[in-house]
């Protein structure tokens, strides 16, 4: 469940969700992927549709990558927190699936972000991630720290951005999946 990064906007071969799934299949033959990620999605969109559809699929593993569009659409930190809390509460109560969430990537250095907005955008990402991580910890949900990965790598790897200067490229999504795979492998008990 999530936004454009899970859907793969900016790439030819899918986002991190599809790339993680390709890594799962050798360890879990017969697995099926239900990718509900939608470009532009916010926590409200997950609550209003993705969550119910996802639970009907009776998943064994749920990945959740959401929050950047909440910032972009001016959703308050308080409302984001309430929505995120509701999402994880419902996931935990309605499913026995293992859950891995990604925090919000640090895209404040993305070419598409105007220089004058970068500091404020970065501060918002940090604040929203702090809340996201508190909520995930309370629900005992694993968090993949894509923020740390992107904060350390994006400014020196322009090839990780797609032509739109905002979304990851194929190289960016592949890097994301490589970095995320260890926590997924641990979560599903893969060798």
What's residue 90's pLDDT?
96
Q: Report the candidate in 55, 1, 11, 61 with the shortest Cα–Cα distance to residue 31.
A: 61
Mean pLDDT of 88-113: 92
**pLDDT at position 107 over 80:** yes
Give me the domain span that covers residue 47.
4-188
**pLDDT at position 152 over 90:** no
pLDDT tens digits for range 120-149? 999 999 999 999 999 999 999 999 999 999
Q: Residues for the chain: how many in total?
A: 191
Q: Report the candidate in 19, 104, 29 with the shortest Cα–Cα distance to residue 68.
A: 104
* Sheet with strand 142-144: strands edge to edge: 61-65, 98-102, 142-144
> Model's pTM, two decimal places?
0.93
pLDDT tens digits for range 10-54? 888 889 999 999 999 999 999 999 999 999 999 999 999 999 999
Measured in degrees and rounded to the nearest 5, phi and psi for residue 144 equal -90, 125
Residue with tokens 């991630």: 129
What's residue 13's pLDDT?
85
**pLDDT at position 163 over 90:** no
**Mean per-residue pLDDT of the chain:** 93
| CATH number of the domain bearing residue 93 | 3.40.50.1110
Q: Which residue has the higher pLDDT, 161 or 23?
A: 23
Domain count, the chain: 1
What's residue 191's pLDDT?
66
């Amino acid at each position: 469940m999530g936004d454009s990064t899970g859907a793969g906007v900016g790439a030819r071969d899918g986002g991190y969700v599809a790339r993680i799934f390709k890594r799962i299949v050798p360890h879990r033959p017969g697995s099926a992927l239900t990718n509900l990620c939608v470009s532009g999605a916010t926590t409200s969109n997950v609550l209003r549709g993705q969550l119910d559809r996802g639970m009907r699929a009776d998943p064994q593993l749920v990945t959740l990558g959401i929050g950047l569009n909440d910032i972009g659409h001016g959703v308050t930190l308080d409302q984001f927190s309430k929505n995120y809390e509701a999402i994880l509460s419902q996931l935990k109560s309605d499913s026995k699936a293992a859950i891995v969430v990604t925090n919000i990537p640090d895209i404040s250095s993305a070419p598409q972000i105007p220089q004058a907005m970068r500091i404020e955008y970065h501060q918002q990402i940090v604040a929203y991630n702090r809340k996201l991580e508190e909520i995930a910890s309370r629900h005992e949900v694993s968090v993949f720290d894509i923020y740390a990965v992107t904060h350390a790598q994006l400014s020196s790897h322009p090839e990780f951005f797609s032509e739109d200067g905002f979304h990851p490229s194929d190289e960016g999504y592949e890097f994301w999946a490589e970095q995320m795979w260890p926590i997924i492998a641990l979560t599903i008990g893969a060798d």
